[in-house]
Amino acid sequence: MNALIQTLAVSFAYHGRKVLHEVTLDFQQGEVVSLLGPNGSGKTTLLKILLGLLKPDSGFVHFENRLLQSYPRNALAKRIAYVPQVHREAFAYTVADVVLMGRMPYHGFFSTYSAQDREIATAAMARLNLLDLQDRAYTEISGGERQLTLIARAIAQGANVFIMDEPVNGLDYGNQMRLLRDVNGLAKEGLTFIMTTHFPDHALMTADRVILLKEGAVLADGCPEATITRETLRALYRIDVHVAAIPGYNGNGRVCVPAWAL
C-alpha cells in the first residue's frame, strides 16, 4: 500500500542544534496517529515539516507520491489542514464565519464567498453537529466547541489530512473525550489525523498507531499496545508507569497508571 505521506531520513536543526535525526515514517489514509514524547523531542518540528512550513535540512517528504516541496502553497492548503490548540480570535466572528474561512484557499483574501462555499461550510458544521451554534460568536462558545469549529473549518477547506498540535490542551475532561470521539468518527470516513499529545491514555484510547519520539529520533512506531509499555514510557519520561489491562475501559482495554499511585 502506498503511503499518503512519507518522510525519508528527515533531519532538521535550529541554529546548529539538531532536533530531528533521520526520521523515516509513513502515514496511511484514514489513520489516527499519535506522536508522543517529552518537550523538546521534535514533535512540533515534525508537524511543521509535514505542513511544508519548514524544509528538512536533509531527507525528503512525499505527499501522495510527490515531493511535498513541489506543491504550490495554495494547492497544499486545500489538502492538508493545520488545526491549532484551542484559542480565541481577536474579533467576535460567528462560528459560521470561522468555518467559511476554510474556503479561503479557493479565493483571494478579499473575494466574496459563493453560495457553493456557504453550502460546503454548512455541510461541514452539520457533520460535527455545530449548526445550532452557527450564529454564536466564536469567542463565546466553549473550548471544545471552538476546537470542533476549527476542525469543521478544515473540512470545509477540503483537506483529507489534519495536523493537530496537542488538540486537547486547555479542554476539560468532557470536551477532551468528545473531541477524541469525533476524531475517531471522521477517521472512519477516510480522513487522516496526525496529532501530538502528552497523554499516553489518549493514544491508547484513540490511535491506530503511536510514534514515540525521543531527542529527535523515533524510539518506537507501531500499534498502541506494542509501543506504549512500561519500558518505553520509562525511557521517554523517566517515570515508572504500569500499563494495566482493564476490560471495557477503552478500545483496547488498557490504561497507564503511575507506579506511585498503586
Tell me which residue range forms the domain holding 54: 5-228
pLDDT score of 241: 84
What is the pLDDT, as a whole number, of residue 85?
77
106 in any annotated domain: yes
Q: Please check whether residue 235 lies inside any domain of the structure.
A: no
C-alpha neighbours within 13 Å on the C-beta side of residue 91: 4
Round to whole Å and give the CA distance between 162 and 256.
26
Say which CATH number the domain at 223 has: 3.40.50.300
Residue 198 in any domain: the answer is: yes
Inside any domain, residue 239: no
- Per-residue CA distances from 181 to 75, 92, 139, 148, 188 (Å): 29, 28, 23, 11, 11
Q: Which amino acid, 234?
A: R
H-helix or E-strand containing 20?
A: strand 17-27
3-state secondary structure string across 133-201: HCCCEHHHCCHHHHHHHHHHHHHHHCCCEEEEECCCCCCCHHHHHHHHHHHHHHHCCCCEEEEEECCHH
Sign of CA dihedral 41, 47, 50, 53: negative
Name the nearest CA neighbour of 151 among 170, 134, 127: 127
> In tens digits, what is the pLDDT along the chain, a chain of 262 residues?
678 999 999 999 998 899 999 999 999 999 999 999 999 999 999 999 999 999 999 999 999 999 999 999 888 988 999 988 766 666 789 999 999 999 988 886 667 889 999 999 999 999 999 999 999 999 899 888 999 999 999 999 999 999 999 998 888 888 888 889 999 999 999 999 999 999 999 999 899 999 999 999 999 999 998 999 999 999 999 989 888 766 655 555 677 776 766 5
- The answer to whether 234 and 241 have CB atoms below 8 angstroms apart is yes
Q: How many CA atoms lie within 13 A of 85 on its CB side?
A: 9
Q: What pLDDT score does 247 carry?
A: 62
Sign of the alpha-carbon torsion through 246, 221, 4, 125: positive
From CA 82, how far away is CA 74, in angstroms rounded?
14
- Answer whether residue 249 is part of any domain: no
Q: Is residue 44 one of the residues assigned to a domain?
A: yes
Q: What pLDDT, on the 0 to 100 scale, is given for residue 87?
A: 64
Is 80 inside any structural domain? yes
Q: Is residue 9 part of a domain?
A: yes
Task: Specify the amino acid at residue 51.
Answer: L
Number of domains in the chain: 1
